Structure 1
Amino acid sequence: MRNIVTVLLLLFGFSAFCQTKSDSIQKMDSLLKKKEVNKIIEELEFKKKATLKNKNFKIQNLEFNSIQKNKIIDLKEAQKKIDLQEIQKINEIEGLQEVEELVIKSTSIPFQQEALYIGEDELEGYNNDINGTPRLHGPSQFDSRIELRELNPDIDWQWLILRRNESVGIIIEKEKINKISEDIYQLDISNSLERTYNLCSNIPFRTQPTVGIGTTFIIGENEMITANHVFNKKLEDYVIVFGFEMLNKNGIIQTVINVKDIYYPQKKIYNSEIYDVVIYELDRPVKRPVLEWKRSSSLKEGNEIYMIGHPSGIPKKIAVNASVIKNSHDQYFYTSLDSFQGNSGSPVFDFNTHKVIGVLVSGELDYTFNGNCNELNLCKYPYCKGEKVIRIENIMNNRY
């Protein structure tokens, strides 16, 4: 009898144990399902935010296209006023020559690699129209950099520059770009040009964000070229981005980048320390135009040129109203281009053919310190050599 009671007690205890375990399993299942539901909700919220940013990205693009077709006249009027003010200031100091002498004698502190120049005929020769179209001007007579949105696609030579722009990208370090959804990335624009380089309040584009370290352009289906010194880390530490530019005069900048406009360098296929250039392959073919090139040796001193790039790592600019100032060396030539450190690797174009004639690799100082902040470094040939451009034919003929 005692054995039967013992067995019944054991059976009752085992049944209770099983019931307790079953209840625990059900609770665990319930908790897991709750976590899965929360995770799904979080994913839906994330996708919702990403979709909203994607819509904003598309709206910005539509706004850019509209502005390109309907250029605002008041911007050009403002530029004319700036030019007149600058000329009046120069006249007050008894002519341009005295200004140059003051610049040359002034004490300067090296700040960057490359510089601005006052070209020989910048005040006169570049005021003429181009094929009946008024010439474009930068923020002042000493700075000829312009935004892409200032180009009118209905004017042939400006449309050709816009087309070349599609093949020029910016080189940034990977930590400067963040993934916000499967197809959308956000550039880190936390640092302005003014704050990064302690610039004076009259420096053009000072409020724009600085993101990149160099410029690069397409020379093959999945091949690009830049200045060799730009890649001072491992190749996999960098990203190539297309489309980082100013969208309208209100200051909207394209900082949300679609994944199709982002590429990753894979390996170097040509590297020259003599020319300071490097050609590298990308992770996939680029669905953008390959830039055509021509021999630069056929150019003459004084021939007009222009450059597309990212000066100081800011949104893309076109440096116009420049020329070849010295063309006697076999490997390179010097120009009056308004270039800056981030322009290293930028394509330089013959204005008449819109073909690449060289790669910008170096120059003089960008800024000089006045005791409080950094000002633009103004310099005139022959006191300064000019901005150095490697001949494209030397690179393309020696790459294999």
Structure 2
Amino acid sequence: MIAPDIVLTAGHCLSSQSACDNTRFVFGFRVEAEGTQPRSVPTTDVYSCHTLIHSVAVSGGEDFAVVRLDRPVTYAAPLRPRTFGKISVGEPLLVIGHPAGLPTKISGGAIVRALRSQFLIANLDTYGGNSGSAVFNQTTGDVEGILVRGELDYVYENGCRRSNRCANFGCRGEDVTLIERVRPYLSLHRSSGSY
């Protein structure tokens, strides 16, 4: 969330207004107490995609969408993006998202492995369902970008499907669209007092 009623996500998740019209954003899907699992989410925490402001999804390149929700989210604050400078190779990262449809997961201990003009590559531990997840600088807490693509999640072995486990530098890594690619949209909504 980059403003009370504006969400940033992966462009390949929302490529048209028609896709927007059929999309819902769910907030608050998380484990509240150890040993419990969420069984439902209040309808007040479900938001409709009202307007697709911008979407781009270039294979192997830029990938993001900016969306206006049907109403402001009142109980959560917009995230703080990096507003100056650029991230460097070796900086620590963490991702917060919903891999494979699970409740909120936080995965840290990753680093920036490489930088490209539109995205960074990191050894983040993510799955399908994490697309559009915020990727944070673990030192500053600033959003550095959004997860957009990565390694094959599952492999088949002896007739079973299992997680594709990569050593820290054993696979290429996950791609994160850099927040600087979205800056024009951040400044459009800064006047709302979000950050």
TM-score range, shorter chain: 0.7 to 0.9
- Residue 381 of structure 1: how far off its partner (Å): 6.2
Change (3 A) 1:272 1:371: same
Structure 1 unaligned regions, length at least 5 = 1-217
CA deviation digits over 1:197-233, x for unaligned, max 9?
xxxxxxxxxxxxxxxxxxxxx0112100111222366
CA deviation digits over 1:318-357, x for unaligned, max 9?
0111111112x11111011101110000000011111101
Q: 2:154 is aligned with what amino acid?
A: Y
Which of 298, 306, 309 is the equivalent residue of 2:86? Answer: 298
Which of 243, 253, 264 is the equivalent residue of 2:48? Answer: 264
- What is the aligned partner in structure 2 of residue 131 from structure 1? none
Change (3 A) 1:234 1:245: same
Give the paired residue count. 181
- Residue 368 of structure 1: how far off its partner (Å): 0.8
Q: How does 1:55-204 map to 2 (within 5 A)?
A: none
- Residue 258 of structure 1: how far off its partner (Å): 2.2
Q: How does 1:195-344 map to 2 (within 5 A)?
A: 218-231=1-14, 234-250=19-35, 252-274=36-58, 275-287=62-74, 288-294=76-82, 298-327=86-115, 329-344=116-131
The structure that is helix-richer by fraction is: 1
Q: 2:138 is aligned with what amino acid?
A: F
| Contact 2:14–2:55, Cα closer than 8 Å, also in 1 | no
Work out the CA distance in 1 between the residues paired with 2:168 and 2:29: 32
CA deviation digits over 1:47-71, x for unaligned, max 9?
xxxxxxxxxxxxxxxxxxxxxxxxx
| Contact 2:12–2:56, Cα closer than 8 Å, also in 1 | no
Q: 1:293 is aligned with what amino acid?
A: P
TM-score of the two chains, using structure 1 as the length reference: 0.43
Work out the CA distance in 2 between the residues paired with 1:398 and 1:282: 15
Change (3 A) 1:398 1:246: closer
Change (3 A) 1:371 1:257: same
| Contact 1:296–1:357, Cα closer than 8 Å, also in 2 | no
Q: 2:117 is aligned with what amino acid?
A: D
Partner secondary structure for residue 343 of structure 1: coil
Work out the CA distance in 1 between the residues paired with 2:50 and 2:128: 24
Matched, 1:396 2:180: no
Partner secondary structure for residue 342 of structure 1: coil
- Residue 242 of structure 1: how far off its partner (Å): 1.0
Change (3 A) 1:371 1:225: same
Q: 2:57 is aligned with what amino acid?
A: E
Runs of 4+ in 1 over 6 A off after TM superposition: none
Work out the CA distance in 1 between the residues paired with 2:2 and 2:185: 14
Work out the CA distance in 2 between the residues paired with 1:359 and 1:296: 17
Q: 1:223 is aligned with what amino acid?
A: I
| Contact 1:265–1:280, Cα closer than 8 Å, also in 2 | yes
Work out the CA distance in 1 between the residues paired with 2:155 and 2:19: 32
- Residue 362 of structure 1: how far off its partner (Å): 0.2
Q: 2:53 is aligned with what amino acid?
A: I
Partner secondary structure for residue 323 of structure 1: strand
Work out the CA distance in 2 between the residues paired with 1:392 and 1:319: 19
Q: Which has the larger radius of gyration?
A: 1
Partner secondary structure for residue 249 of structure 1: coil
Which of 146, 149, 166 is the equivalent residue of 1:362? Answer: 149
- What is the aligned partner in structure 1 of residue 192 from structure 2? none
Work out the CA distance in 1 between the residues paired with 2:159 and 2:147: 30
Identity %: 32
Partner secondary structure for residue 299 of structure 1: coil
- Residue 260 of structure 1: how far off its partner (Å): 2.4
TM-score of the two chains, using structure 2 as the length reference: 0.84
The structure that is strand-richer by fraction is: 2
- Residue 277 of structure 1: how far off its partner (Å): 0.9
- Residue 249 of structure 1: how far off its partner (Å): 2.9
Structure 2 unaligned regions, length at least 5 = 189-195
Partner secondary structure for residue 256 of structure 1: coil
